[in-house]
Structure 1
Amino acid sequence: MGHVPTPEQITRHHDEGEVVHVGAHPTAYVVRIEEPDPTWPERYAEIEQQITTVLGERLLAIQHIGSTSVPGLPAKPIIDVDVAVADPADEAAYVPALESLGLVHWLTEPSWHQHRLLKLLGEPRVHVHVFGPDCPEIVRHRMFRDWLTDHPEDRERYAAAKRAALAQVDAPDADHGALGFGMRYNAVKEPVVREIYDRMFRAHGLL
């Protein structure tokens, strides 16, 4: 593997406007928040085993991230999975294998760490985020998951922000097109998320 991400890389926030979505699928998904569900980690364990099997040595790392990975946190019923491969841009090396599991290559974000998003529709949904092995996003996601797990006050603060954001995002927004609903939800809760990240980074000596 190459270099370890620097503090500057780990602490940098990417705004929605910076990220170019390539080939994004239209989606009619309506954001909803559910109370913590013990089946979420079980579903992650299943998909981890399936991805590990189909990718074999091509899989460099895999982790459960996002709100469904934090015990006691209300969440959208979406199992978010970070996957690291040697080169996310080399789609032929891993996309067909993931598609064999029913995952759909949903969008590509070359300007954001060569991120590829694949989705498995159903209940709960599964979102697989593919990055390179030294991607700072993988570090950020792990740190945020572990911080919320270990800090009940910030976990409650984040849960409250989710509910407040959902209350404000109650209709599709034509200005954002197919991505609008989720983007608006994320934008409303972003100030609280940034505040928690800032506290977390300072606690780890990264700021």
Structure 2
Amino acid sequence: MPTDRKPRRRDVTTVEIIGGVVKRALFLTDHDPRWAEAYAEHETRIRAALGPAALQVEHIGSTSVPGLAAKPIIDVLITVADITAEEDYLDQLVAAGYVLRVREPGHRLVRTPALDAHIHVMEAGDPLAGDYLIFRDRLRTDDDDRALYERTKRALLEQDWADMNAYADAKTEVVTAIKERGRESRLGSGVPERPSASPRP
């Protein structure tokens, strides 16, 4: 947390998926340089909508890693001072054209109506927000882990999944291992460690 003030209210304690579970076709495409351009457009849109309430805006997920095949969905991380203060960010994101999809402890997800971008809102200092960046940076800099992650995704996509969350959960073991190597690499290079928790990339 960037300040010492306590959250204005209790956070939600359950997972709410607006619209319910929806099965979507899952497939990978080769890395597309236009994904970086698409992210830049979302960043501009988000910063215009939120102003200083957006403490951090980052491109995360597989589309943020050059050379990595990915589902063609742009993932964006926003950190805010207080996740419970939805009045500071949620209406503004909806007004900017995003649609609320998930409300759960420590995390809100809005997405585009076209389903080609997922915008994750988390609180500054949340270990999971740091995990997203550790995982991304490890894949950007380590050829072996990038290849391992792509092989894992391709193997899993040969199976049938009820929804994207089930597919994501199946990657947990590999994601955790890559993330730990990324954390060790940061420590070895003198980069300050970000606290960790269970993965959600």
What is the TM-score normalised by the length of structure 2?
0.82
Residue 47 (str. 1) matches residue 42 (str. 2): yes
How far 1:29 sits from its partner (Å)? 2.1
Kept in 2, the 8 Å contact 1:36–1:75? The answer is: yes
- Deviations along 1:45-97, one digit per CA (max 9) or x if unpaired, are 00100111111121111100000000010111111111011111111121111
Structure 2 residue ranges without an equivalent (≥5): 5-12, 188-192, 197-201
Q: 1:30 aligns with which of 16, 19, 25?
A: 25
How far 1:188 sits from its partner (Å)? 2.7
Structure 1 residues 140, 2: closer, same or farther in 2, change over 3 A?
farther
Q: Distance in 2 between matches of 1:69 and 1:171?
A: 24
Amino acid at match of 2:16: V
- Any residues of structure 2 matched to 1:49-198 within 5 Å, and which? 49-110=44-105, 114-122=106-114, 125-168=116-159, 170-172=160-162, 181-198=163-180
Structure 1 residue ranges without an equivalent (≥5): 4-18, 173-180
- Aligned residue in 1 for 2:15: 21
Kept in 2, the 8 Å contact 1:104–1:118? The answer is: yes
Q: Distance in 1 between matches of 2:169 and 2:107?
A: 20
Q: Secondary structure at the match of 1:102?
A: coil
Give the RMSD, CA atoms, in angstroms.
Answer: 2.0
How far 1:171 sits from its partner (Å)? 5.0
- How many residues align? The count is 179
Q: Distance in 1 between matches of 2:176 and 2:76?
A: 21
